[in-house]
Amino acid sequence: MSTRQEILNIIEKNSRIDVHELSVLLGAEEIVVANELKAMEEEGIICGYHTMIDWSKTDIEKVNALIEVKVTPQRGLGFDSIAERIYKYPEVTSVYLMSGGFDLMVILEGKTLQEVAGFVSNKLSTLDTVLSTATHFILKKYKDHGTILAKKYEDTREIITP
Amino acid sequence: MRNPIGKKVVDIKPSGIRKFFDIVQETEGAISLGVGEPDFDTPWHIRDEGIYSLEKGRTFYTSNSGLKELRQEVSNYINRTQGVTYDPIKEIFITVGGSEAIDLALRAMVDEGDEVLIPQPSYVSYEPCAILADAVPVIIELKEENQFRLTAQEVLDKVTDKTKILVLPFPNNPTGAVMEKEDLEAIAKVVIEKDLYVISDEIYSELTYSGKHVSIVSLPGMKERTILINGFSKAYAMTGWRLGYACGPKEIMEQMVKIHQFAIMCAPTTSQYAAVEALKNGDDDVAMMREQYNHRRRYLLNEFKRIGLTCFEPFGAFYVFPSIKQFGMTSDEFCTRLLKEEKLAVVPGNAFGDCGEGYIRISYAYSLENLKAAMERLERFIERLK
């Protein structure tokens, strides 16, 4: 496995790890690791160092919704231009072009149900090229970005074994 | 009343690990680095196959030797990793863990008084199994200056007219030592010259960090002299499924299966179905786990260097075996005090043979966070000793 891939495997799960520790885990020089990180940031491979938060455990209200959007692609621009019009809204957290029964998957974060509903009816549906939308609210997150949110790991092994 | 206990069994001393286990259990808040099994769960697709087999009602005995499909997969696996072909019908059978295979191999092959060469430090069961089979265990003391590898000279020094079997426990628990191809070639030469058989316990074969594991069966003339033992516990994190296998010459397998059929009947059926999936589609999981073990291995070695604990660099299994000779204590004293004073449990090296005295076994089948917390405790302890 390449150093790059190994770095990515580690920081995808733990972006707070520092260069020194990374270099220990990989058995590589610190300078090599630092250069790789910098290069991958510049190349846009590493796009950010976000934190995974289970908002449902805080007292801050958040509502997430998945919206299936059917659109009319535009001559010469395909889906890119309509996707851009949608992803520029700050409340939109992700936009994917999909295969199958609809075109764009829009993931939205709002404070309340009303706020999300309002966004869909006032902003999204009224775009010229949008043909239809179907909104699904997320009720509970069990697993997100490869991390199980529902329960904590518990070591059930015997304490000492040969 | 008559004494109900047979003398042979009474004379076998209980595992040194057991004694330590009892002390650890009474210590509240202890962190343990004493576990000899993976911390990963069995990959879900493997568990799923086990569940599916139960749903379908695959709850009967399999043939004594195990599912044909599984033996075929084992054969494919050895072929693709070692380039050696075993007949899945006559030369492979499925056991209850690698440990059953060790016991059976010894029982099937030795007569009273035959000598069995056992390199130590090593897994705790070879010596008692040899004794139960009425053989005479002859210990070869592996040395740190050889990175705990077995040398041809060490074998030659212990071979007598009565020597029949050499146990080859690599990659090694507890030292983490591996044998390179050259090391094995030298051993194979002696084995052939002295007309010995090898029981090669390769349960950690997937966990090597300096190139792929080489099995002695891949060397010329060795397939017909070797019982190859492996299993699913370590590679696929399947310890609780209790599943292993033995491969070797058909005449020996026949006799081993005979004992197996009377003592065990067959290995657990659910586990066998799950294991088929492991061998078919488990390579990526093994690679992921190996990568993580390797990170932890490097982390620990780096920490030892920082806190001043001498340790040779092991390239296999998931153990490191640092020396504690500089502190002027026995392994037992060191481990007991470490547990009492810092609530950190590691296993005294002498639990794996007398020549493990002066060492401790630290397992890195733990998350990095766990290892970090443990190293803080170890560092504090060592600072006080200096």
pLDDT, tens only, B31-68: 999 999 999 999 999 999 999 999 999 999 999 999 99
Per-residue pLDDT tens for B158-217?
999 999 999 999 999 999 999 999 999 999 999 999 999 999 999 999 999 999 999 999
Closest CB from B173, B291, B345 relative to A160: B345
What is the Cα Rg of chain A in Å?
21
Instruction: Give me the pLDDT at residue B18, please.
Output: 79
Instruction: Give me the pLDDT at residue B14, please.
Output: 85
Instruction: Give me the pLDDT at residue A85, please.
Output: 94
Mean pLDDT value across chain A: 93
Distance (Å) from the alpha carbon of B253 to chain A's nearest alpha carbon: 27
Q: One-letter amino acid identity for B96? A: V
Helix (H, G, I), strand (E, B) or coil at B255: helix
Which residue of chain A comes nearest to B368, CA vs CA?
A: A25
Per-residue pLDDT tens for A95-114?
999 999 999 999 999 999 99
Report the C-alpha gap between B40 and B60 in whole angstroms. Answer: 29
Q: What is the rounded average pLDDT of the residues A22-49?
A: 97
pLDDT at residue A151 is higher than 80:
no
pLDDT tier at B350 (50, 70, 90 boundaries)?
very high
ipTM score of the complex?
0.87
What is the Cα Rg of chain B in Å?
21
B347, B1 Cβ separation under 8 angstroms: no
Decide if A155 touches B, using CB distance below 8 A.
Answer: yes
Which residue of chain B comes nearest to A2, CA vs CA?
A: B291
Report the C-alpha gap between B150 and A135 in whole angstroms. Answer: 66
Sign of CA dihedral B175, B181, B186, B191: positive
Backbone angles phi, psi at B341, to 5 degrees: -85, -35
Chain B hits for A161, Cβ within 8 Å: 17, 34-37
pTM to 2 decimal places: 0.94
pLDDT at residue B352 is higher than 80:
yes
Chain B hits for A1, Cβ within 8 Å: 287, 291
Decide if A43 touches B, using CB distance below 8 A.
Answer: no
Subunit contact B291:A9, Cβ cutoff 8 A:
yes
Mean pLDDT value across chain B: 97
Decide if A25 touches B, using CB distance below 8 A.
Answer: yes
Q: In which region does residue B113 sit, left (phi positive, over 0), alpha (psi from -120 to 50) or beta (all else)?
A: left
Report the C-alpha gap between A138 and B209 in whole angstroms. Answer: 43
**CA distance readout (Å), B229 to A63, B226, B232:** 55, 9, 11
